[in-house]
Homo-oligomer: A and B are copies of this chain.
């Protein structure tokens, strides 16, 4: 109940950054914050509606070539709400790490399955790392162009740090589980 709807702030932020329509917002999510945030149409449109009712965004319906298009923009109230949000502590996200859950119950699994899980995990991190590096390498090209760059780099850097840590953990975990081949599972007294 007290849970603040974070989608609202993602939408406000993207409108501040130049998004104009619901469709725009969805596209920008994918192109920019997609590495750590996702939104679906089914949520964006109702949120825009609610934001409008609350007076945080203005709504103008443009008719472009027979088609209707709803153009939204931040109002002063919306801007103030965004400002206030920056002062708000981040809402604790419910913890739910399925890999750790599987691992925690690892004693009931076949070691091969666990090893496969960790290897898959390591590969995902590896792929993510490569992608992050590519984006970071391309960033400086358009530097100075946008005052947002510093902040974008910051978010990417968190990705790099965490991804590296997860790869290192993966190596460590595999080294620890390596000795356990299928024979170890066989001792099943209680």
Count identical subunits in the complex. Answer: 2
Q: A96 at the A/B interface (Cβ < 8 Å)?
A: yes
Q: A135 at the A/B interface (Cβ < 8 Å)?
A: no
CA distance A102 to B108 in the complex (A): 41
Q: For residues 127 through 167 of chain A, which have their beta carbon under 8 Å from a beta carbon of chain B? A: 147-148, 150-155, 157-158, 161-162, 164-166
Q: A9 at the A/B interface (Cβ < 8 Å)?
A: yes
Residues of B within 8 A of A99 (CB): 90
CA distance A140 to B107 in the complex (A): 17
Which residue of chain B lies nearest to A113 when distances are taken between CB atoms in the complex? B86
Q: Are A37 and B109 in contact (CB under 8 A)?
A: no
Q: A63 at the A/B interface (Cβ < 8 Å)?
A: no
Which residue of chain B lies nearest to A108 when distances are taken between CB atoms in the complex? B16
Q: A121 at the A/B interface (Cβ < 8 Å)?
A: yes
CA distance A173 to B97 in the complex (A): 26
CA distance A154 to B97 in the complex (A): 13
CA distance A109 to B85 in the complex (A): 9
Main secondary structure of the interface of A (DSSP, over half): helix
Output the least CB separation between A26 and chain B (Å): 15
CA distance A157 to B89 in the complex (A): 27
Binds B, one of A28-36, A50-58, A64-72: A28-36
Q: A103 at the A/B interface (Cβ < 8 Å)?
A: yes
Q: Are A36 and B6 in contact (CB under 8 A)?
A: no
Given contact pairs A6-B101, A89-B117, enumerate 19 new A-B contacts (beta carbons under 8 Å).
A6-B96, A9-B101, A16-B105, A34-B95, A38-B94, A82-B105, A83-B109, A86-B102, A86-B108, A87-B113, A87-B116, A90-B98, A90-B117, A93-B97, A104-B148, A104-B151, A104-B155, A162-B165, A165-B165
